[in-house]
Amino acid sequence: MMSNEEARLIAAARKGDGRAFAALVAEHQQAVRGFLRRFVGRWGEADDLAQEAFLTAWSRLDRFEGRSSFRSWVCGIGHRIARDAHRSRVRAAVREAGWAEQQGSAEGSTPLEDRIALADAMAALPQDQRAAVALCLGEGFSHGEAAEILRLPLGTVKSHVTRGRERLLQALGGKP
């Protein structure tokens, strides 16, 4: 389980001794990094995850009960962080693929120059106006839903959408 030296370092680190915790990191970082490198398969990411595991261990040192070795405890933290990061990457990839598919079908009928002009015109709108236009005109939210999302009064959202639409039409050479 734990050696006397490790127990002493943990006790000192719990009292805020950064050097004691640094000694624990120095003692166990190779094992944690090695485990995460094999688990994740990407060395750079594994090293980042190991660093995050030690930061989490530092902030939660009061929860370490000593039923296992410090090394095992930090490896467990690293495993949970790596697993959560993997899940997050998978969800993001699915989201991005859906968005790209949606954009591909929508963009297929719109010339590139028009898409660029629209993006530039949107970027020129004030932030609140741009958000209201993007929600209501771009994503199909109702004015009420946009007001709730943006935490703005309903009338403000309606005027942002109306003014934003006018500005976009002017910027794109259309009639308001």
Please enumerate in sequence order all residues whose Cβ is within 8 A of that of 78, keeping only pairs 6 or more positions apart, or say none. Answer: 32, 35, 36, 49, 50, 52, 53
Contact between 148 and 162 under an 8 Å Cβ cutoff? The reply is no
Angle at 94 between CA 134 and CA 85, to 5 degrees: 105
Rounded distance between C-alpha atoms, residue 119 and residue 25, angstroms: 48
Smallest Cα–Cα separation from 132: which of 140, 124, 45, 6?
140
pLDDT digits (tens, 9 = 90+) for 38-80: 998 888 999 999 999 999 999 999 999 888 889 999 999 999 9
What is the rounded CA–CA span in Å between residue 157 and residue 141?
Answer: 11
Query: How high is the pLDDT of residue 80?
Result: 92
What gap in Å lies between CA 29 and CA 80, rounded to an integer?
16
CA distances from 170 to 18, 136, 176 (A): 60, 19, 7
Write down the pLDDT at residue 133.
87
pLDDT of res. 68? 82
| Cα angle, residue 94 at apex, residues 86 and 43 outer, rounded to 5° | 30
Do residue 13 and residue 80 come from a single domain? yes
Domain C-terminal end among 51, 70, 98: 98
- Full domain range(s) for residue 145: 110-171
Total number of domains in the chain: 2
Q: Is 105 within the bounds of a domain?
A: no
How far is Cα 123 from Cα 121, in angstroms, rounded to an integer? Answer: 5
DSSP 8-state class, residue 63: G
Q: What is the pLDDT of residues 92-116, one digit of tens each?
A: 888 787 776 666 655 556 677 777 8
Which CATH number belongs to the domain containing residue 160 in this structure?
A: 1.10.10.10
Domain co-membership, 93 together with 114: no
| Same-domain status, 130 and 93 | no
- What is the pTM for the complete model shown? 0.56
Residue 33 has pLDDT above 60, yes or no: yes
